[in-house]
């Protein structure tokens, strides 16, 4: 625990001194979850990537104000939330979903908090999913990221139904075991949560 605190202090000190490696480290650490967060707010993954990149530029320019790892994360999410709000507000033509997101952002921060939690869960799973065997990973991503049904997965991967169901079950089992090894004992609960938030 003490080593972790000291490492965080070194990171913050280096960041405030303008050492570029710290920005690269923070970018690798938070980029994917922030992109997921932004894309869920504005409904446009390409624009979300641009917004997130701009947030890191803002973070770098404000390095003297940063005092802790948590304040860095808070800065990034708040900046991202505000940028998403500005983006939606300036759109001349919005989809129904984008208008709904804008309405939610205008009246309550609850939606933002929920999406932050979802993006953090997504980040946890994305790292573990990337370690799955190739076939398991492809099947899992098609089911739970792209919302494909069994027949569509069979067609895309040129696999029979039995093989698809086997790879899906194997992926779930491997992820459950990985989460338990990380200290998350109720792995099935977290898997259920992940599958649920992908559908919402």
Domain ranges of the chain: 1-108, 131-200
DSSP category for residue 65: G
CATH number for domain 131-200, candidates 2.160.20, 3.40.50, 1.20.120, 1.10.10: 1.10.10
1-108: which CATH topology?
Rna Polymerase Sigma Factor; Chain: A (1.10.1740)
Instruction: Estimate to the nearest angstrom the gap between the alpha carbon of 24 and the chain centroid.
Output: 17
Cα(200)–Cα(191) distance, rounded to whole angstroms? 15
Query: pLDDT tens, position by position, for the chain (200 residues)?
Result: 334 435 778 888 888 888 888 889 889 888 988 888 888 778 788 899 999 999 999 998 886 667 777 788 888 888 988 898 888 888 766 666 666 666 666 555 555 555 665 666 666 677 788 889 999 999 988 887 776 889 999 999 999 999 999 999 898 888 878 777 766 555 555 555 555 445 44
pLDDT in tens, 138-174: 998 888 777 688 999 999 999 999 999 999 989 888 8
Residues 77 and 116: beta-carbon distance below 8 Å: yes
């Amino acid at each position: 625990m003490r080593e972790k605190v000291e490492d965080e202090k070194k990171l913050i000190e280096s960041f405030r001194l303008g050492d570029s490696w710290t920005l690269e480290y923070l970018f690798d650490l938070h980029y994917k979850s922030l992109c997921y967060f932004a894309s869920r707010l504005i409904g446009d993954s390409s624009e979300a990537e641009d917004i997130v990149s701009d947030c890191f530029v803002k973070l770098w320019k404000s390095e003297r104000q940063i005092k802790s790892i948590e304040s860095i994360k808070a800065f990034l999410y708040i900046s991202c939330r505000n940028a998403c709000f500005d983006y939606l507000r300036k759109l001349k033509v919005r989809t129904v979903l984008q208008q709904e997101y804008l309405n939610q952002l205008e009246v309550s921060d609850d939606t933002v908090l929920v999406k932050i939690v979802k993006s953090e869960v997504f980040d946890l799973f994305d790292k573990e999913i990337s370690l799955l065997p190739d076939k398991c990973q492809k099947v899992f991503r098609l089911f739970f990221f792209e919302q494909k049904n069994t027949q569509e997965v069979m067609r895309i991967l040129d696999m029979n139904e039995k093989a698809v169901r086997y790879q899906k079950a194997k992926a779930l089992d491997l992820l459950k075991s990985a989460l338990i090894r990380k200290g998350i004992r109720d792995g099935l609960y977290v898997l259920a949560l992940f599958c649920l938030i992908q559908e919402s």
